[in-house]
Each structure stands twice: as structure tokens, then as C-alpha cells.
Amino acid sequence: MQGTIRLDKYLTHIGVSSRREAVKLIKAGKVKVNSKNVFDPAFKINPEKDVVEVEGFQKIPFQENFYYKFYKPKGYITSTKDKEPTIFELLPKALPGLKRLFPAGRLDKDAEGLLILTTDGELAHRIMHPKWKLEKRYEVLLDKPITDEDIKRLEEGIELSSPCHAELPLLSPRAKRGVLHKEKTLPARIKVLAEDRKFLEVAVIEGRYHLIKRMFGKLGYQVLSLKRIAIGPVCLGELKPAEALPLSQEELESLKTLLGLK
């Protein structure tokens, strides 16, 4: 960002608060610029030179966008607002960029694992768009051993059936387009991780509605647990449930390179 910016807009941009809340914070004397209290929301600052402090928050360096990896636990909805518990209820209130963050993709309520949270709309769009074929890896536990024949079928691609009629009203128009036409899945990569052949690593490069569950369901298997462990070069690693960490510079650069943004 070049030049100056209104103080209330700046607080909103770095995710401290909504615009309305920012105005209240400033008028209440809870915001300092260069160690001096400022009471005017329209006060202009230079993000590259001025130091802004907000009561209850650490000093937050200015940046255009924020990028985090987050371990979504089971039982939470991947949404900004919902009647059920959402992932945003788990994030620290002082997390830089919080008010502007959104998930780049989704995980079902009963699934767990890696999500990328960002304020960068173009990056999020490319993560989700099938054109870029960004690989996502999952650990999958099945109800019974998988056969070599079924592994081969998944690695070659299988035709998925449409969901039952009762499910259709629950889907967005975009999701409906993805499931109402019988299309063959793109080839998946399957790695057997346990001797009982029930625990697998599955890599896919598309993001259809309930893709993993539907793939295995088509072949007569039930997915007992589903955990995403990687999105492109970004891995879950040692991240703990409900923990969020900024993407490293290496992770971000690798991700942007794969998505044609560098």
C-alpha cells in the first residue's frame, strides 16, 4: 500500500476490528500513533513509517495480506458464520488480519486437518479452481481392507453418481453443477499405510463436493475418518488441533509459484 490511509481503515485492514468497531476504539482513546493518542478516525497515517498501537493488541506490522495454515478439528464448520460452531470461534481474538480472513476451500464438519486461511482473494480462488490442479493429500481410514483392483480403479478415475434427490436442496448452485453430471474423476494417487489395508494416503487434484467419501462410497467402502495433511507444498506437519501459524516465506513462495502468482 502506498501513501497515507485513514486510521480506522488501517485497523480494519490489519484485522484488528470491523470499520465500526475501529471508530469506537479510536474515539475511546484506545489507539496510539507514534505513542500519542489519536481520537479522530479520519486521521491519516503512513503504514510504512508510523507505529500504531491498539489497547489489548501487540504492535502489528502492516502487510497487504495475511496467510495462515490452520488445523481444523472435527466438529467445526468451515465458515465465517453459522448456527453451528465455526472454525473462527477457535482463532485468537488478537490474530493479525482476523476480521478479514476466510478459508481457501473447505473441510466437512466430521473431517479434520489442514486449511489455509487468508485475506488474499486471488490466491484463494486459485487454490480452489480445478484449472491449477493443486494436489491435496489426505489420510483416510476405511471400514474394510481395500483391494488392489479398487486402488487401480481410483488411480485411473471412476464415474461418480449424482447425490440422492434429498441432498440437492442443500447444495449451492456451483456444487450442484459439480455433482449433477456424471463425470469421471481425475486420477488419484493411493498409498497403503497399514498392513490391514484400511489406512491410506490419498492424493487428488480436484475439489468436488464430498469427493473422497463419494469416491470410496462408489466402490462400497465407508470412510470412517478423513484428515487433510497437505495442500500443495503446505503441510500440516506438527500443527496441533485448533492451532494457526503464519505460512513461512518458503511455503508462500512455493504455493504462489505453483499457482502462477509469482
Q: What share of the chain is helix, strand, coil (3-state, %, to 5)?
A: 30, 25, 50
The single-letter code of the amino acid at 164 is C
**Phi, then psi, of 137 in degrees rounded to 5:** -115, 140
- Spatial strand order of the sheet with 52-54 comes to 36-37, 31-33, 52-54
User: 73-99 burial by CB neighbour count: b if 16+ within 10 A, else e?
Assistant: beebbbbeeeeeebbbebbeeebbbbb
Residues involved in catalysis: 108
Angle between helices 121-128 and 249-258 (to 10 degrees): 60
Alpha-helix residue ranges (DSSP H) falling in the chain: 7-13, 19-27, 121-128, 148-156, 173-180, 211-218, 249-258
Which set of grid coordinates corresponds to residue 174? 456451483
Q: Give the separation between CA 229 and CA 75, rounded to whole angstroms.
A: 17
Cβ–Cβ under 8 Å, residues 66 and 15: yes
116 burial via Cβ count (<10 Å: 0-12, 13-18, 19+): buried
Query: How far apart are alpha carbons 92 and 72 in whole angstroms?
Result: 14
